[in-house]
């Protein structure tokens, strides 16, 4: 791993952030041996043993590989401050997530284009999804098989997951063998970003195989502090590394891939954003761009949990027997991604796309896995995937090493709360289905005391948490709050693009890792002047 960048070297591109998008960009841009790239990452190499072990992902929370963010007190959630994990390591959040591969609904991307972003319809972005994929089921109309990112079927499926599938069918929900094909609706097993039973992050898939390239410099533990402008053109990046300040120039472009929290924060620190906000922190406004940090969207969820009367859950996944099995075969309970199955559902029949996603896990999962229970358990996670509520990322100070303030503003739109109440009801119905009769014990949460809609609402306000999908804080478009155009170029600034989940105009209806990788694939072609067909 490179430990220093040559301040006198000529880098055509500087990429800030080696997460789900940054790793893809670095790999694609350095395919041209004449293109020199510097990739800066605030975290370090992915050395934690738990990163590779699928079932251990929550053990990475609040460790050295996590930014360990928290929101401001949320007014609609009993003024609770919510924990937001984000990956601070090569691979970013793709190194600490639950590995679920979901693209979102086709309509999500058609809506992006209709919002003034030509080239972002589903038919336009599908080639980029396929380009990344090494699909275990082979190539098809919707999938690619020649890409670097392994998309696999689960190597371990718990018996309780089978009960979830049967219980969903009892509720009249249709089976869906592929959530990333013609339709999202229905229930089924998730596919995951795993290779041979091990996590396959964007570092594993894209960056690690090209670290030998002489035109790629990767600098870890390098925290970007400012993008320098000259006459509204980005030309250099300042960063802290080894306790010292450094500055390196980019002769072509600066590419910001810090994610939905760090990307707007760095723009603000660089004098790009709402002028009045910047002045409050003593930052000279260099370019007034009111939308930086605004339009924050996320997917909230709650946990609906039951005691399991049989010892078949993942509670003992890390036993010596299971650990040995995993080391030898990369199979067994430790190969589980925990959220093994799920469904997409429309809480109202006239909706154009599902507004509810459900995760099922054969384990007690509450408070991000920090809470424990002495008995075997199973649980459901109903998730709002089409939020109407929007929040913001704002500075706390002009200190580039201080975390920004996160105001998620969950449930400021009453419809959002209604969807999760319906989600709790659906998960309960599945939990009380005949399929779960051999396993079902006490309902732990919400519990018997929450029966009316008002009581379920109170439960949701007290228990809701993030499903780790913040997006949209540097949104793409041409309206007054848009930050980048359809080429991902920052409005009014030359040689500066944002490439990550923050550019989504609306958050996709599902897990956000796959669309973030797609965004980077498309961005690489936009930067190089290529097209998907080429």
Q: Would you please indicate which residues are annotated as catalytic (active-site) residues?
A: 469
Token pair listed for 241 = 């590394």
Residues 6+ apart with CB under 8 A from 84: 69, 70, 71, 261, 406, 466, 468, 470
- How far apart are alpha carbons 298 and 330 in whole angstroms? 33
CB 498 within 8 A of CB 488: yes
Residue at token pair 């339709």 = 183
CA distance 424 to 443: 12
Tell me the C-alpha to C-alpha distance, in Å, between residue 141 and each of 138, 181, 190.
10, 8, 19
Of 99, 104, 520, which is closest to residue 112 (Cα–Cα)?
Answer: 104
Task: Please answer whether residues 93 and 19 qualify as being in contact, where contact means their C-beta atoms are separated by less than 8 angstroms.
Answer: yes
Please tell me the distance from the alpha carbon of residue 520 to that of residue 418, in angstroms, as a whole number.
Answer: 34
> 22-29 and 513-528 are packed helices; what angle lies between their axes, rounded to 10 degrees?
30
Which residue is listed with tokens 């086709």? 106
Q: Confirm if 504 and 298 have CB atoms less than 8 A apart.
A: no
The CA distances from residue 55 to 153, 204, 299, 391, 428, in Å, are: 15, 18, 22, 31, 25
Find out whether 362 and 160 touch, Cβ atoms under 8 Å.
yes
Check residue 15 and report its DSSP letter: E
Sign of CA dihedral 211, 212, 216, 218: positive
Structure tokens at 142: 């919707």
Tell me if residue 396 falls in helix, strand or coil: coil
- Please give the span between the terminal C-alpha atoms of the chain, in angstroms, as a whole number: 32
Q: Residue length, the chain?
A: 534
Instruction: Look at residues 183, 195, 57, 87 and name the one whose alpha carbon lies nearest to residue 133.
Output: 195
Token output for 7: 């301040």
Q: Which two tokens stand for residue 370?
A: 């920090």
C-alpha span between 490 and 503 (Å, rounded): 10
CA–chain centroid gap for 350, Å, is 28
Alpha-carbon span 264 to 243, nearest angstrom: 24
Task: Establish whether the linkage from the previous residue to 191 is cis, with ω within 30° of 0.
Answer: no
- Strands 356-361 and 194-195, how do they pair? unpaired
C-alpha count within 13 angstroms, C-beta hemisphere, residue 169: 12
């Amino acid at each position: 791993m490179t430990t220093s960048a040559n301040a006198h070297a000529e880098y055509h591109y500087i990429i800030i952030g080696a997460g789900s998008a940054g790793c893809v960009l670095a790999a694609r841009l350095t395919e041209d041996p004449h293109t020199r790239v510097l990739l800066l990452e605030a975290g370090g190499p992915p050395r934690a043993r738990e990163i590779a072990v699928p079932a251990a992902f929550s053990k990475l929370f609040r460790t050295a590989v996590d930014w360990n963010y928290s929101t401001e007190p949320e007014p609609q959630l009993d003024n609770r401050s919510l924990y937001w994990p984000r990956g601070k390591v090569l691979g970013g959040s793709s190194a600490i997530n639950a590995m679920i591969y979901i693209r979102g609904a086709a309509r999500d991307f058609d809506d992006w284009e209709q919002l003034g972003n030509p080239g972002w319809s589903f038919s336009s972005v599908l080639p980029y999804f396929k380009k990344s994929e090494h699909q275990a089921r082979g190539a098809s109309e919707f999938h690619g098989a020649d890409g670097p990112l392994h998309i696999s079927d689960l190597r371990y499926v718990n018996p309780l997951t089978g009960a979830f599938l049967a219980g969903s069918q009892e509720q009249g929900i249709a089976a869906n063998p592929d959530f990333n094909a013609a339709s999202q609706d229905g229930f089924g097993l998730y596919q995951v970003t795993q290779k041979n039973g091990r996590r396959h992050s964007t570092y594993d898939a894209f960056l690690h195989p090209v670290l030998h390239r002489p035109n790629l410099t990767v600098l870890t533990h390098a925290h970007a502090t400012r993008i320098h402008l000259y006459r509204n053109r980005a030309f250099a990046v300042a960063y802290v590394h080894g306790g010292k300040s450094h500055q390196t120039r980019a002769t072509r472009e600066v590419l910001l891939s810090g994610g939905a929290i760090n990307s707007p924060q760095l723009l603000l620190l660089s004098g790009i954003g709402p002028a009045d906000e910047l002045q409050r922190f003593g930052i000279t406004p260099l370019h007034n761009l009111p939308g930086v940090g605004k339009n924050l969207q996320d997917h909230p969820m709650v946990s609906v949990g039951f005691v399991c009367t049989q010892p078949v859950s993942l509670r003992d996944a890390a036993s010596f027997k299971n650990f040995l099995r995993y080391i030898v075969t990369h199979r067994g309970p430790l190969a589980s991604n925990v959220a093994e199955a799920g469904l997409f559902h429309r809480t109202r029949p006239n909706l154009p796309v599902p507004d509810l996603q459900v995760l099922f896990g054969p384990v007690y999962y509450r408070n991000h896995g920090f809470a424990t229970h002495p008995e075997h358990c199973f649980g459901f996670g109903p998730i709002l995937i089409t939020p109407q509520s929007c929040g913001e990322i704002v500075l706390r100070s002009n200190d580039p090493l201080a975390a920004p303030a996160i105001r998620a503003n969950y449930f400021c739109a009453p419809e959002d709360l209604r969807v999760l109440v319906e989600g709790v009801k659906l998960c309960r119905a599945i939990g009380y289905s005949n399929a779960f009769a051999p396993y079902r014990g006490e309902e732990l949460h919400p519990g018997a005391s929450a029966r009316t809609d008002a009581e379920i609402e109170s439960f949701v306000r007290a228990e809701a948490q993030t499903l780790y999908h913040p997006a949209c804080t540097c949104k793409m478009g041409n309206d007054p709050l848009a930050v980048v155009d359809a080429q991902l170029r920052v409005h009014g600034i030359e040689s500066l693009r944002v490439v990550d989940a923050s550019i989504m105009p609306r958050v996709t209806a599902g897990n956000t890792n796959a669309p973030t990788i797609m965004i980077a694939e498309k961005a690489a072609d936009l930067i190089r002047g290529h097209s998907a067909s080429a």
